[in-house]
Amino acid sequence: MDYSFIIRRATENDASSIKEVMSESFKKYMLDTGMHGSMEALDESIEDITADIRDKFVYIAFVDEHPVGSIRISLNPNKTAYISRFGVRSGYRSIGIGRSFMNLSDKLLKSQGIQRVMLHTASKYTELIRFYYGCGFYIESTSTDRGYIRARLIKDYTN
């Protein structure tokens, strides 16, 4: 293995690989946060993922041609964006893939004239909160609308 990785825009043919990545990474997310039941990310179908590939900016990461991560970015008309379904497989964390996704997102969003990007994560997931703070996000608010303390994180872009 070379352990070289690439990130590219996902195609519809990547939907099943993205589903596998999301399944593994969000099951780990639930385990790490003590959540029970299910999550939307685990319940989505191949058709849901394919629709997102058509309608959003969806990227997939590969290490030695093995799918290891994915991210989805929605652009809104008010110069904001939303990051969702961001996950990296457990065995491939802490080697720069997540940071590379964030750097790619920054470049994309700045090129699109986006002024603010948002995402949600469990506020008790210290490792993720630290990661997002290191990427320039801050917690704007929290809610319990999904049955756990969910943080809304913001990153502002200034021109």
> CB of 52 within 8 A of CB of 90?
no
Residue 159 has pLDDT above 70, yes or no: no
Average pLDDT over residues 74-97: 94
Average pLDDT over residues 5-19: 97
Summarised one tens digit per residue, pLDDT across range 88-139 is: 999 899 889 999 999 999 999 999 999 999 999 999 999 999 999 999 999 9
Average pLDDT over residues 9-23: 97
Average pLDDT over residues 22-48: 90
Confidence at 146, pLDDT banded by 50, 70, 90: confident
pLDDT for 36: 81
Average pLDDT over residues 13-18: 98
Map out the domains of the chain with their CATH numbers.
5-114 (3.40.630.30)
| pTM score of the predicted model | 0.94
pLDDT for 125: 92
Confidence at 1, pLDDT banded by 50, 70, 90: low
Residue 41 has pLDDT above 60, yes or no: yes
